């Protein structure tokens, strides 16, 4: 079979064939420099401000799904078979403003206007998905959009009013859904796609078997799913990452399997895709999940990537370790499964051999008596990297703590369990004293660092206090947490 | 406010931002969106990797040889003066011999693409003779680093005598952090060479005349060779008042040298490391007071981290002292500044310009007094407000004659139900518990005018074309504040024509020369008056033409909506203009304005630096988590004075935005340097400005509609850009109250800014430990 050597996608109404697209070419540069579509702005080039927000529509199980993404860290090569929608596509042919745009104008939602196209796109996606949102839903939809002028009040008011300007039923993306679906279906490649120059090569495997094969052939390749971390290696650090193997399009890695005993997530499942299964199986993760990055990043980033990059401050590993998750790795020779905590060996070092990739993650559902909590501490509530993240799973049998798994991020070179704290809990009666003892034991478990996110003293103090919070919450005390109060 | 006027866009009425539709459609062009002429090159800065050191060798061979590179610029390649200092102190080289902060630009590379230039800039081989460094004001002072400019002293009365009569005295220190502007559009300059010495620079700047001046200075050409243009900025906040100089100069030097258009746009990390920020301060205060909470004497010392050069640190630290009284009368007062040199990027203007750091000192002193006496801080605030006869003189000897703070605070305390809610919060906290609440109502009084008196001038250029359409140009710049909208409203009002008849055009040094920065909240005050002057000149000619032609007295000519009444006849505006043109009436005018009655003697510390004051107050309620230090703003109520608003909805937007920015300064926005002198919070991933979910859960904002400027300002309005920034202090003081509750309010918490969750928790722990 011939390999496809270009990247084909729809941009607004037009079909694009990007020949020899370098692996690290960003969508934003493509839009602004090559297409002169300058409505999409660069504010930070690291996926943290949202000025470059565009929609990407893609087929999933045959259905067309539009999501906001940060064009600044989205690689062009990852868009094969997708529909990119920019702010220029919103205005009607006769120049009439889109309901989102009209609401923003009428509510004075722009001042300097530089962030505005990005907000418009986020609000557009929200309106399509939730035409009549609550304030909280609006705030969640624009977690990934910074505005320095307005104080957000008029933007939120505009978002709440959009539906009174028009219904998504009449939106052109809704009306053209079948056409776009058919056009995208026609763009899906028959096999592997390889494109870009030798020193900036992009490879899109045909399927997971092919991925294993590609990695066997080029074990030095950089695996990219959502690019929410690797994107920054390129845009900020200018690090060479060729060849790049893109995996975000592989449907087999997007499987979500919820049974009575476990939730299994393919490594390519994004935070957004996992959201409803997580909420069903692990309701304690609900609030926590919505505090992972911003909406655009949750639409791109994968849980597999969050684990595979081995960061000590990733949001998901501590809570998954506490739940007893296991990880399945694969290469051309086969699969192996290991407890998640065993994957993290040291700072920057994971138990992943060359040619191996993370295939899936399995999280056992809570047993009777198992009490779970997830806490994130950060300087800013939303869209911030945690200074401390905690996953706490404690099994209470009668008045005795019979099991405890306590894991922290931000406390050491890897996300890991607090064995001394766990030991201080197991076998003890369910009392404040037991949790105080566990909190005090954390100083045996961890010697955290001081940096710009938090000092070592604060990290240790707050980590202990999170154990105390856990006890107080379970002890029936109300109002021990801002989010719940 | 309902628009009852027959004119669209009339003054004193709500009107959308003139670019709102372009904003939402992505059709508003910022500097990086201007179509590039063929052959455009891109520049990028190469920066130092040490904090302080002399450059021993700099080998740029690998940079020159890198793919796509066309040229490299170093200090030797500056044709004019290698200096960017806005106050002419010659202490801010474009490229230095001695590196004075980590990340300081030391050369520039020019390439065919920005990407190529950016990659090549990493390839320099530079060796340094390392020198010791000090990055904060106190360690720099201890290390013997000088002050970047002369300090200021304001003194009135006899501090020692005031202290002697007061039964109580508190001395304490507060550290207040700086702030990055985090405008969404970073710095950018785009230079297009012309014939002879000429160069045109498109630049994101609040101060085109300054950029023009610096480009001319760096090129060694007269000002008339340089044109600087800016249609709009994607935010400025003071960060583009002088900091664009570097980019404008580098782009212009390269463009003239290579005879090619050259654009330079740093990435966000370089923007944040290589351009200045709000000054952080260490404030030592000594407040003497009596049992009623009445302040007798204040002795305050304000040391600021100024960075390696003076930039605007002189006037910034001056303004901190000008506002260290906020709304309070100090019978005896001595205020001193220390503009301390440090090995950090040179700090600069930022909304409030030092004022907020002065105001927060005043508010902290009030809190100290209240805690010491067990009083409601609001009571202490009211006790010390400026009054009449003998209680109306500022530390700089200006009489406060337009004081409305009492009424503003009373109305807000009523509408926000301050007393009842405070009682309820005290009761809540008395029950103990993990979550504690706090409430604070803080005032602001802010002086309006540039303290450099000569800056208080402005020009405008208005043309009426013979089809009746109007072209508006003025010296102010649009950074989102709606300045152009307001001035077009002034013009619409003057000519009595619909808003849409007026074309708003880019700011350019070609049309209005010698302009001042759009800063100090003065944009509409100054430029609005200048535009009005231009309109009045044209109107006078029209009136005289009409009176003569129709044979009526001048006072029988009146401008009606889109028409002119001449005697008994009503003539459409277009018709009059057409006839005036045919009769060879001059339909263009240059307007000018200078603020009257202001003067300032810095050496004596006396004068009337401010034309008037703007007032406001905010009441904020917060909840803190005493286990983690996390917090939430539950409610904020604001009543703010903008005089007679030119455009209430835009002013409200300024108030809301300024409040949240002020809150960010005091809560989550933290600048953090490591022990090697590197700023480690230099992008939105590490530097956290407020998000939508951080804004108050309930947010009530009102303008004091009864207020009217007592001075003859443009339509009796008041400046709005900076004053409401300080309303964010209400959040800080509410957090302080919630913290204080863990020790039953016996102690004023030692809480430094920004009050991150960490600082809140540490303050809680400190009080718990007793």
Cα angle at A391 between A386 and A394, to 5 degrees?
A: 160
All residues of chain B having their beta carbon less than 8 Å from the beta carbon of residue A479 are: 433-435
A56: which 2 tokens?
């990407």
pLDDT of residue B4: 43
**Domain match, A295 and A278 both:** yes
- Closest Cα in chain B, distance from residue A46 (Å): 8
Per residue in A320-338, pLDDT tens?
999 999 999 999 999 999 9
Q: Tell me how far apart the alpha carbons of residues B495 and B539 are, in angstroms, rounded to a whole number.
A: 7
Exposed, middle or buried, B297 (CB in 10 Å: 0-12/13-18/19+)? buried
Parse chain B into domains and list their residue ranges: 20-28+457-594, 34-132+181-274, 281-451+602-769
| The architecture CATH gives domain B281-451+602-769 | 2-Layer Sandwich (3.30)
Taking the C-alpha atoms of A258, A263, A268 and A270 in order, what is their torsion angle to the nearest 10 degrees?
A: 90
pLDDT of residue B337: 98
Query: What percent helix, strand, coil does chain A show, rounded to 5?
Result: 35, 25, 40
* Domain boundary pick from A229, A246, A263: A246
> Which of B187, B627, B632 is the best mutation test for A, with the most CBs of A within 10 A?
B627
Widest Cα–Cα separation across chain B: 88
Q: Say yes or no for a CB contact (<8 Å) between A111 and B653.
A: yes
A479 in a domain, yes or no?
no
pLDDT of residue A25: 97
Helix (H, G, I), strand (E, B) or coil at B615: strand
* Domain boundary pick from A113, A139, A170: A170
**Domain match, A194 and A211 both:** yes
Q: Say yes or no for a CB contact (<8 Å) between A105 and B16.
A: yes
**Domain match, A403 and A315 both:** no
Q: Say yes or no for a CB contact (<8 Å) between B435 and A479.
A: yes
CB neighbours (10 Å) of residue B238? 28
pLDDT of residue A478: 67
Would the pLDDT of A95 be above 90? no
pLDDT of residue B3: 41
pLDDT of residue B420: 98
Q: Between A42, A97, A156, which is nearest B21 by CB?
A: A97
Q: Tell me how far apart the alpha carbons of residues B695 and B635 are, in angstroms, rounded to a whole number.
A: 9
A462 in a domain, yes or no?
yes
Segment A19-26 mean pLDDT: 95
**Domain match, A262 and A357 both:** yes
Q: Say yes or no for a CB contact (<8 Å) between A472 and B35.
A: no
Domains B20-28+457-594 and B281-451+602-769 agree in fold: yes
Per residue in A32-45, pLDDT tens?
999 999 999 999 99
Q: Tell me how far apart the alpha carbons of residues B350 and B243 are, in angstroms, rounded to a whole number.
A: 11
**Domain match, A264 and A316 both:** yes
* Cis peptide leading into residue B754 (ω within 30°): yes
Instruction: Say which CATH number the domain at A112 has.
Output: 1.10.150.120
Instruction: Say which CATH number the domain at A339 has.
Output: 3.30.465.10
B736 — alpha (psi -120 to 50), left (phi > 0) or beta?
alpha
Per residue in A337-367, pLDDT tens?
999 999 999 999 999 999 999 999 999 999 9
A262 in a domain, yes or no?
yes
All residues of chain B having their beta carbon less than 8 Å from the beta carbon of residue A45 are: 267-268
All residues of chain A having their beta carbon less than 8 Å from the beta carbon of residue B185 are: 41, 43, 112, 114
**Domain match, A234 and A281 both:** no
Instruction: Say which CATH number the domain at A82 has.
Output: 3.10.20.30
**Domain match, A154 and A123 both:** yes
- Give the pLDDT band of residue A476 (cuts 50, 70, 90): confident
Task: Give me the residues of chain B with pLDDT under 50, please.
Answer: 1-4
Q: What is the pTM of this model?
A: 0.98
A483 in a domain, yes or no?
no
Q: Between B650, B657, B761, which is nearest A151 by CB?
A: B657
Q: Tell me how far apart the alpha carbons of residues B147 and B144 are, in angstroms, rounded to a whole number.
A: 9
pLDDT of residue B88: 86
Q: Say yes or no for a CB contact (<8 Å) between B24 and A110.
A: yes
Instruction: Say which CATH number the domain at A393 has.
Output: 3.30.390.50
**Domain match, A381 and A347 both:** no
**Domain match, A35 and A82 both:** yes
Domain span holding position A166: 99-170
For B389-404, letters b (16+ CB in 10 Å) and e give eeeebbbbebebebbb
Distances (CA, A) of B46 to B95, B104, B108, B250, B307: 10, 8, 6, 12, 20
pLDDT of residue A485: 46
Q: Between A143, A145, A379, which is nearest B756 by CB?
A: A379
Domain B34-132+181-274 has CATH 3.90.420.10: no
Beta bridge partners of A84: A11, A56
**Domain match, A122 and A148 both:** yes
The helix (run of H) or strand (run of E) holding residue B208 is helix B208-219
- Give the pLDDT band of residue A479 (cuts 50, 70, 90): confident
Q: Say yes or no for a CB contact (<8 Å) between B185 and A43.
A: yes
A299: which 2 tokens?
């639409």
The helix (run of H) or strand (run of E) holding residue A364 is strand A357-364
Q: Tell me how far apart the alpha carbons of residues B219 and B165 are, in angstroms, rounded to a whole number.
A: 60
Q: Say yes or no for a CB contact (<8 Å) between B625 and A46.
A: no
A196 in a domain, yes or no?
yes
Q: How many domains does chain A have?
A: 4
**Domain match, A81 and A200 both:** yes
Q: Between B19, B33, B694, which is nearest A38 by CB?
A: B33
All residues of chain A having their beta carbon less than 8 Å from the beta carbon of residue B235 are: 112, 114, 148-149
Q: Between B29, B183, B267, which is nearest A45 by CB?
A: B267
pLDDT of residue B57: 98
Give the residue carrying structure tokens 């409803």.
A276
All residues of chain A having their beta carbon less than 8 Å from the beta carbon of residue B29 are: 38
| The architecture CATH gives domain B20-28+457-594 | 2-Layer Sandwich (3.30)
> Cβ neighbours of residue B226 under 8 Å, at least 6 residues apart?
B198, B199, B201, B212, B215, B216, B219, B252, B509
Would the pLDDT of A474 be above 90? no
pLDDT of residue B5: 53
A444 in a domain, yes or no?
yes
Q: Say yes or no for a CB contact (<8 Å) between B693 and A139.
A: yes
Segment A418-442 mean pLDDT: 98
* Domain boundary pick from A170, A193, A215: A170
Segment A122-136 mean pLDDT: 98
> Which of B13, B21, B22, B25 is the best mutation test for A, with the most CBs of A within 10 A?
B25
- Closest Cα in chain B, distance from residue A379 (Å): 6
pLDDT of residue A249: 96
| Residue among B284, B300, B294 at smallest CA distance from B167 | B294
A485 in a domain, yes or no?
no
Residue of A nearest to B34 (CA): A38
Q: Say yes or no for a CB contact (<8 Å) between B688 and A451.
A: no
**Domain match, A80 and A107 both:** no
Segment A226-241 mean pLDDT: 96
A94 in a domain, yes or no?
no
**Torsion sign (Cα): A464, A467, A472, A473:** positive
* A:B CB pairs within 8 Å: 257
Proportion of chain A above pLDDT 90, given as a percent: 95
């Amino acid at each position: 079979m011939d390999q496809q050597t270009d990247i084909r996608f729809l941009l607004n109404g037009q079909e694009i064939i990007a020949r020899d697209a370098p692996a690290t070419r960003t969508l934003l540069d493509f839009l602004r420099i090559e297409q002169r579509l300058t409505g999409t702005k660069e504010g930070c080039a690291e996926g943290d401000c949202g000025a470059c927000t565009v929609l990407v529509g893609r087929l999933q199980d045959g259905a067309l799904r539009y999501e906001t993404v940060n064009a600044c860290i989205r690689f062009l090569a990852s868009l094969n078979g997708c529909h990119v929608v920019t702010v220029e596509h919103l205005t009607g042919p006769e120049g009439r403003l889109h309901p989102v745009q009209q609401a923003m104008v009428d509510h004075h939602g722009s001042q300097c206007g530089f962030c505005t196209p990005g907000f418009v796109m986020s609000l557009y996606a929200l309106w399509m998905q939730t035409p009549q949102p609550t304030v909280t839903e609006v705030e969640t939809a624009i977690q990934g959009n910074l505005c320095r002028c307005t104080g957000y009040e008029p933007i939120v008011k505009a978002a709440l009013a959009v539906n009174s300007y028009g219904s998504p039923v009449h939106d052109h993306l809704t009306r053209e859904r079948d056409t776009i679906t058919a056009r995208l279906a026609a763009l899906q490649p028959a096999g592997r796609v390889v494109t870009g120059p030798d020193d900036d090569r992009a490879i899109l495997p045909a399927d997971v078997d092919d991925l294993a094969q590609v990695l066997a052939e080029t074990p030095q390749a950089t695996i990219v799913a959502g690019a929410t971390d690797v994107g920054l290696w390129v845009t900020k650090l200018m690090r060479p990452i060729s060849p790049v193997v893109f995996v975000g399009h592989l449907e087999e890695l997007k499987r979500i399997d919820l049974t009575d005993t476990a939730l299994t997530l393919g490594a390519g499942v994004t935070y957004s895709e996992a959201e409803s299964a997580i909420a069903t199986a692990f309701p304690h993760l609900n609030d926590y999940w919505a505090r992972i990055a911003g909406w655009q990043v949750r639409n791109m980033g994968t849980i597999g990537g969050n684990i595979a990059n081995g960061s000590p401050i990733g949001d998901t590993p501590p809570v998954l370790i506490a739940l007893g998750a296991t990880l399945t790795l694969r290469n051309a020779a086969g699969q192996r499964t290991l407890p998640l905590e065993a994957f993290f060996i040291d700072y920057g070092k994971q138990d992943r051999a060359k040619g191996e990739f993370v295939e899936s993650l399995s999280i056992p559902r809570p047993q009777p008596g198992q009490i779970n909590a997830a806490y994130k501490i950060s300087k800013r509530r939303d869209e911030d990297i945690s200074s401390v993240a905690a996953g706490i799973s404690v099994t209470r049998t009668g008045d005795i703590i019979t099991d405890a798994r306590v894991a922290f991020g931000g406390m050491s070179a890897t996300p890991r369990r607090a064995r001394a704290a766990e030991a201080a809990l197991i076998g003890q009666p369910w009392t404040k004293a037991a949790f105080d003892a566990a909190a005090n034991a954390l100083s045996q478990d961890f010697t955290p660092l001081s940096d710009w996110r938090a000092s070592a003293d604060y990290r240790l103090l707050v980590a202990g206090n999170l154990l105390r919070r856990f006890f107080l919450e379970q002890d029936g005390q109300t109002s021990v947490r801002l989010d719940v109060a | 406010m309902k628009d009852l006027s027959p004119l669209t866009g009339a003054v004193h009425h709500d009107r959308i931002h003139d670019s709102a539709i372009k904003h939402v459609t992505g059709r508003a062009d910022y500097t990086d969106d201007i179509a590039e002429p063929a052959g455009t090159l891109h520049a990028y800065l190469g920066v130092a990797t040490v904090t302080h050191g002399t450059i021993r060798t700099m080998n740029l061979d690998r940079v020159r040889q890198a793919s796509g590179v066309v040229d490299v610029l170093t200090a030797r390649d500056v044709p004019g003066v290698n200096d960017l200092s806005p106050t002419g102190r010659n202490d801010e080289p474009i490229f230095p011999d001695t590196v004075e902060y980590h990340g300081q630009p030391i050369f520039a590379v020019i390439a065919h693409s920005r990407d190529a230039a950016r990659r090549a800039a990493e390839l320099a081989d530079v060796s340094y003779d390392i020198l010791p460094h000090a990055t904060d004001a106190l360690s720099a002072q201890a290390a013997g680093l000088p002050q970047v400019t002369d300090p200021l002293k304001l003194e009135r009365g006899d501090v020692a005598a005031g202290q002697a009569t007061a039964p109580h005295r508190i001395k304490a220190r507060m550290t207040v952090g700086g702030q990055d502007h985090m405008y969404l559009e970073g710095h950018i300059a785009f230079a297009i060479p012309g014939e002879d010495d000429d160069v045109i620079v498109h630049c994101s700047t609040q101060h085109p005349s300054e950029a023009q001046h610096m480009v001319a200075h760096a090129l060694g050409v007269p000002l008339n060779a340089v044109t600087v243009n800016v249609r709009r900025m994607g935010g400025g906040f003071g960060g583009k008042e002088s900091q664009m100089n570097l980019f404008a100069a580098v782009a212009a030097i390269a463009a003239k040298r290579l005879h090619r258009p050259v654009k330079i746009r740093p990435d966000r990390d370089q923007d944040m490391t290589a351009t200045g920020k709000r000054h952080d301060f260490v404030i030592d205060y000594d407040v003497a007071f009596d049992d009623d909470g009445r302040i007798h004497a204040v002795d305050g010392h304000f040391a600021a981290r100024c960075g390696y050069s003076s930039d605007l640190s002189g006037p910034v630290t001056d303004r901190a002292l000008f506002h260290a009284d906020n709304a309070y009368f100090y019978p005896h007062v001595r205020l001193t500044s220390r503009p301390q040199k440090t090995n950090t990027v040179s700090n600069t203007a930022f909304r409030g310009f030092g004022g907020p750091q002065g105001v927060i000192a005043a508010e902290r002193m009030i809190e100290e007094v209240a805690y010491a006496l067990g009083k409601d801080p609001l009571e202490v605030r009211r006790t010390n407000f400026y009054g009449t006869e003998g209680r109306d003189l500022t530390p700089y000897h200006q009489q406060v004659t337009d004081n409305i703070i009492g009424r503003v605070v009373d109305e807000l305390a009523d509408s926000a139900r301050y007393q009842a809610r405070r009682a309820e919060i005290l009761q809540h906290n008395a029950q103990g518990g993990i979550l504690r609440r706090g409430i604070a109502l803080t005032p602001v009084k802010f002086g309006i005018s540039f303290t450099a008196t000569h800056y208080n001038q402005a020009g405008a250029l208005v043309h009426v074309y013979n089809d009746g359409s109007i072209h508006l140009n003025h010296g102010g710049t649009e950074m989102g504040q709606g300045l152009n909208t307001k001035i077009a409203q002034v013009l619409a009002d003057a000519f009595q024509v619909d808003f849409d008849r007026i074309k708003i055009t880019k700011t350019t040094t070609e049309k209005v020369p010698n302009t001042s920065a759009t800063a100090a909240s003065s944009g509409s005050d100054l430029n609005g008056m200048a535009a009005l002057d231009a309109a009045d000149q044209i109107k006078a000619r029209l009136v005289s033409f009409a009176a003569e032609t129709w044979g009526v007295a001048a006072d029988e000519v009146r401008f009606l909506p889109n028409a002119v009444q001449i005697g008994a006849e009503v003539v459409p505006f277009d018709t009059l203009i057409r006839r005036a043109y045919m009769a060879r009436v001059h339909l263009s005018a240059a307007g000018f304005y200078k603020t009257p009655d202001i003067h300032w003697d810095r050496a004596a510390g006396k004068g009337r630096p401010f034309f008037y004051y703007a007032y406001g107050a905010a009441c904020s309620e917060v909840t803190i988590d005493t286990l983690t230090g996390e917090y939430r703003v539950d409610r904020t109520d604001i009543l703010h004075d903008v005089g007679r608003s030119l455009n209430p909805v835009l002013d409200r937007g300024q108030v809301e935005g300024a409040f949240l920015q002020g809150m960010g300064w005091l809560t989550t926005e933290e600048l953090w340097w490591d022990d090697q002198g590197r700023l480690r919070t230099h992008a939105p991933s590490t530097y956290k400005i407020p998000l939508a979910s951080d804004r108050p859960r309930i947010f009530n904002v009102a303008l004091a509609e009864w207020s009217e400027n007592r001075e003859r300002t443009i339509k009796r309005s008041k400046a709005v850009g900076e004053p409401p920034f300080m309303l964010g202090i209400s959040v800080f003081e509410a957090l302080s109250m919630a913290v204080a509750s863990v020790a039953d309010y016996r102690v004023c918490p030692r809480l430094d800014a920004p009050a991150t969750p960490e600082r809140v928790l540490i303050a809680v722990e400190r009080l718990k430990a007793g």
